[in-house]
Structure 1
Amino acid sequence: MTNEILVVGAIPARTQAAVTAVVKDLEQAFNAHDPVALSEQFARETSWTNAVGTRLDGRAAIAEFSGPAMKGFLRDSYARYDVVKLLEITPEVIGVNVRQTPTDSSGNPVAGPHGVTTYVIARQQEGWKIVVGQNAPVDAPPAA
C-alpha cells in the first residue's frame, strides 16, 4: 500500500494502522482466493456491493458468493489495494477510499480492470470491520 494517504479528521495513528490493516488483510485474502478470510474482514451485519453491482448483505452472503467466484471467474485474478484517503466520520467510524490495481500472482501490475472502492470501517466488538462497501470498475489511469 502507498504511504501517500490523505487523512481528513483527527484520526490517531493507531486507528489509521488498524483500518489500513483491514484493507491489507482483505487484499491478502483476495489474492489467496480465500472466501472465508475475505468475508471475515466484514462485520456480521454488513452491506457490500461488488464490482458487477451485486449487493451482498451479511458476512455469510459474502463468503457464499465469493467461494464459487474465486474458483470461477476470479481464479486468475490478483490485485493491489492502495488506501488513498481516510475520512473520520466519528472516532470509531472511518470512511476509506481504495484504489485497486490488477497484478499478477507476484504482485506486479498487469493490464486489466482497475477499481475504486469506498468502505465504511467501524470498530466492532470483534475489532475493526467493514460495515458498508461499494466497489466500482474504472478505466486504467493513463501511463505516466
Structure 2
Amino acid sequence: MSAIEPPVVGDTTVDHSADIAAIEKIIGNVETAYNTNDAALMTADFTANAMVVNAVGALTTGRDALLEANRHGLAGFLKDEYVRYEITDITFLRPDVAFAHKVAGATTADGELIDIDHAMIALYVLVKEDGRWWTAARQNTLIPHS
C-alpha cells in the first residue's frame, strides 16, 4: 500500500490583496473595540452562528450570546484594559475561506506596550459571503511565560 502525500492547502487562484485588507480591518475593529469598550463594534464582523473560545477556555456560540459576553466583559473586568494586536499570518484555504493569527500585548491607555512578550495568540476562521468577509470562529489562547 503506497502512502498518500498530504496536500498543501492554499488558494492562489485570485489576487487576495483586497481580501487581506478586509481581514486586517476586521481584526483592527476588534482591537479598536477592545480599547474603546465598544461591544457592538467587537461583534460586528461575526457570523450569526459564530463560535468564540475566550482566553480562559469558555465557549460562546452565536452572535447574540457573543454580543452579550462582549458587553459584560468590556463593561466589567476589561473596562480599563488596553491592547495592541499584530497579525502574524493570513492563509487562504479557498477563495472564500481563510484563517489568520494575531498576537496581543497589553498596553497603557496611551498605547505604550506593557508586555515585553506577547500575552495571547488568537486564531480566526473567516468566510467570505456575498463579497464580505466574516469571522466564523475565533480561538484565544494565553501564552504562558516562565
What TM-score do the two structures reach when normalised by structure 2?
Answer: 0.84
Equivalenced residues, count: 134
Work out which of the residue numbers 119, 124, 141 in structure 2 matches 1:119: 124
C-alpha RMSD of matched pairs (Å): 2.0
- Counterpart contact for 1:43–1:124, Cα < 8 Å: no
1:87 pairs, out of 85, 91, 95, with: 91
Question: Cα distance, 1:64 vs. partner?
Answer: 0.5
Structure 2 unaligned blocks of 5 or more: 1-9
Query: Given residue 89 of structure 2, which amino acid in structure 1 is its aligned partner?
Result: K
TM-score, structure 1 length as denominator?
0.85
Unaligned runs of 5+ in 1: 1-7
Query: For 1:62, what is the secondary structure of its paired residue?
Result: helix
Deviations 1:79-106 (A, max 9, x none): 1111101111111111101111111112
- Fraction of identical pairs, as percent: 23
**Cα distance, 1:127 vs structure 2:** 2.1
Equivalent-residue separation in structure 2 for 1:64 and 1:126 (angstroms) = 27
Matched, 1:59 2:63: yes
2:98 and 2:115 map into 1 onto residues whose CA distance is 31
How far the C-alpha of 1:65 sits from its partner, in A, is 0.9
Report what 2:31 is aligned to.
Answer: 27
Q: Secondary structure at the match of 2:78?
A: coil
Larger Rg: 2
Q: SS at the partner of 1:70?
A: helix
Deviation (angstroms), 1:111: 3.6
Aligned to 1:139: 144
Given that 1:102 and 1:109 are in contact with CA atoms closer than 8 Å, whether structure 2 keeps it comes out as: yes
Instruction: Give the superposition deviation at 1:67.
Output: 1.0
Whether contact under 8 Å (1:78, 1:102) holds in the other structure is yes
Report what 1:69 is aligned to.
Answer: 73
Equivalent position of 1:128 in the other structure: 133
Distance 1:126 1:26 in 2: 20
Which residue does 2:46 correspond to in 1?
42
Query: How far off is 1:126 after superposition?
Result: 7.5
- Please state whether the residue corresponding to 2:133 is helix, strand or coil: strand
Greater mean deviation of Cα atoms: 111-120 or 88-97: 111-120
- Which structure carries more strand by proportion? 1
